[in-house]
Amino acid sequence: MDYEELKEYLSSLEKIGTRLGLERMERISESMGYPQNSYKIIHVAGTNGKGSVCAIISSVLRECGYVVGMFTSPYLVDVREKIMFNGQKISKKDMVKYSTIIRKENVKLTYFEFLTAIALLYFREKGADFAVVEVGLGGRLDATNVVTPVVSVITNIGLEHTEFLGKDLRSIAREKAGIIKKGVPVVTNVRGEAEEEIEKIAKERDSMLYRVKERARKLHSDLESQTVEYGCKRIRFPLLGDFQIDNLKTALETIEVLKDSDEIPDEKIIHGIGKTKWPGRVEVIGREPLTILDGAHNPDGVKELTKFIKNVDFRKMILVMGISKDKDKEGMTGKLFTLADKIILTKSSYKAMDPSEIAKNGYIIEKDPKKALEKAKELAGKDDLILVTGSLYLIGDIISSFSAI
C-alpha cells in the first residue's frame, strides 16, 4: 500500500460514519500490546477549545525537553496534521507503515478509530514521553477513551452533537465526564449545572477535581498577539481572543497538576506558551483589507468570535460563511449576521450545508470557497474587514487554495 492507496482507504472508512463504542478500539489495543500504556497521556474533552489547550500543553512540554505526541481533531488541510510528533506531522511513509500494521489485525475500525490506533502505536514506536490526546466526540464512548491518562481535562460544555450526547447540558457533561478514570485528577473550566455533573462523577471515581484558576491575566492585545501576566512576568501569547485566554488558563491548570510528578520549570512554561501555534483560529492572513480566518463551528464559538470582532477597528465587514450540515444554523448566524455589511455564503468540500438553506435577500451565494474570498476582496476597501468562518473544513479549503497558488 502506498500513500495514495491509503488516502483512498481512509475515504472508504469515512463513509461508514460515526459508530460510538469502545469494543473495537479495545480489541485493536490488545492486539497492538496496549501502546497507550508506554507514555504519559493528557486526555482533553470539551465542546470548544480542546485543540488550543492541546497545542499549548504540547508546546510547553516540548520546551521542557520532553518527547511529545499530539493527536487532535479535525485537521485543516492534510489528515497527517492530526498526528503530530515533536511539532511535526507524521510522515507519509510512517502513515503507510502503521496503517499496514493495523489493517493486518482485521479489526473493522471506523475512520476515527483507525487514525486513533495509528497515533497510539506511532507514539510508542517513536519513544514519546507524553501524548496529548483530544477526544473526537463526547468522551465516554469515544475511540480515545481506551487510554488511562495522568490527567483528564474538560474545557467547557455547550449544546453540540445533541443527537449523540443528549439534549441538555447535564447529559452532555455526563458523556464528556466519561473520560474521568478512577483516581486520575481532572481539570475543568466548566461552570453551572454541567460542572455539578462533572463534580459528581469525579467523586464517584475518587478523582481530584481541579477548577481552573486565574493563573493568567490579559494585559494587552493587538492583531499580532496578546500580552499576558503569568506569575510576576509578562509573556507573549500568540493566540488571539479572550476565549484563548480561557484556554490558556485551562492549560496552565493542567500543567500545575503535571508539576506534581514531572519537571516543568516556570521559565520553560513561559517560553512554551510564546511558541504555541494553532492555525485557523482567529488567524490574521492579510491586511488592507484586514482578513481573518476562524474555525468557529457552533453557537458558543461564534459568540466568542463576535466578542473579538467587536473590538476590532474596521469600516465595514464582509462576512464569508459556510456551515456544516449538522450544525445549528440559527444559533450560528444571528449575531454575526447583524455585524456584517455584506454576507457571502459558501460551502466547504466536506459535510457542507447548502448555502441556499441560509440565504435571504441581499446575500451573495458563491459555492466555491476560493471564489467567495475573491469576491469579498473585490467588495472590500483597504479599511474593511473580511471575516471567513463557520467551519474548520471551510478554513482548510481556504488555506489549501493559497498553497495551490
Which residues sit opposite 389 in a β-bridge?
A: 321
Same domain membership, residue 190 and residue 115: yes
Q: Give 86: exposed, middle or buried? Use CB within 10 Å, 0-12, 13-18, 19+.
A: middle
Whether residue 163 sits in one domain with residue 30: yes
Residues 178 and 261 grouped into a single domain: yes
The three cell numbers locating residue 308: 473579538
Residue 161 pLDDT: 83
Residues 306 and 375 in one domain: yes
Query: Do residues 261 and 337 share a domain?
Result: no
Q: Do 70 and 165 lie in a common domain?
A: yes
pLDDT digits (tens, 9 = 90+) for 20-66: 999 999 999 999 999 999 999 999 999 999 999 999 999 999 999 99
Q: What is the DSSP letter of 28?
A: H
Contact call for residues 50 and 60 (beta carbons, < 8 A): no
Paired with 237 in beta bridges are 226
Q: What is the CATH number of the domain that holds 200?
A: 3.40.1190.10
**Does any domain span residue 362?**
yes
Report the side by side order of strands in the sheet with 226-230.
216-221, 226-230, 233-237
Of 235, 179, 168, give the one whose Cα is nearest residue 202: 179
Alpha helices, DSSP H, located in 39-133: 50-63, 92-103, 111-125
Q: How long a stretch of residues is the chain?
A: 405
The verdict on residue 87 lying in a domain is: yes
Question: Residue 400 and residue 331: Cα distance in Å, rounded?
Answer: 28
In 3D, which of 291, 264, 220, 202 has the Cα closest to residue 40? 264
Question: Over 216-236, what HEC string results?
Answer: EEEEEECCCCEEEEECCEEEE
Q: How far apart are CA 391 and CA 404, in angstroms?
A: 20
Last residue of a domain, one of 232, 253, 272: 272
Map grid coordinates 464517584 to a residue: 204
In a domain, 99, yes or no: yes
Task: Confirm whether 135 is domain-assigned.
Answer: yes
Same domain (yes/no): 53, 101: yes
Q: Report, as ranges of residue numbers, the positions in the chain whose pLDDT lies below 70.
A: 403-405
- Under a CB-based contact definition with an 8 Å cutoff, are residues 86 and 66 in contact? no
User: CB-hemisphere CA count at 13 Å for 41?
Assistant: 26
**Residue 2 corresponds to which cell in the numbers above?**
502506498
pLDDT for the residue 341:
96
244: domain range? 3-213+240-272
C-alpha 175/C-alpha 168 separation (Å) is 11
107 part of a folded domain? yes
- Asked if 224 contacts 287 with a C-beta cutoff of 8 angstroms, the reply is no
Which residue, 92, 91, 146, is CA-closest to 117?
146
User: Grid cell 439534549 — which residue?
Assistant: 167
Q: Which residue has the cell 499549548?
A: 56
What are the φ/ψ torsions at residue 389 (nearest 5 degrees)?
Answer: -160, 180
**Count of domains observed in the chain:** 2
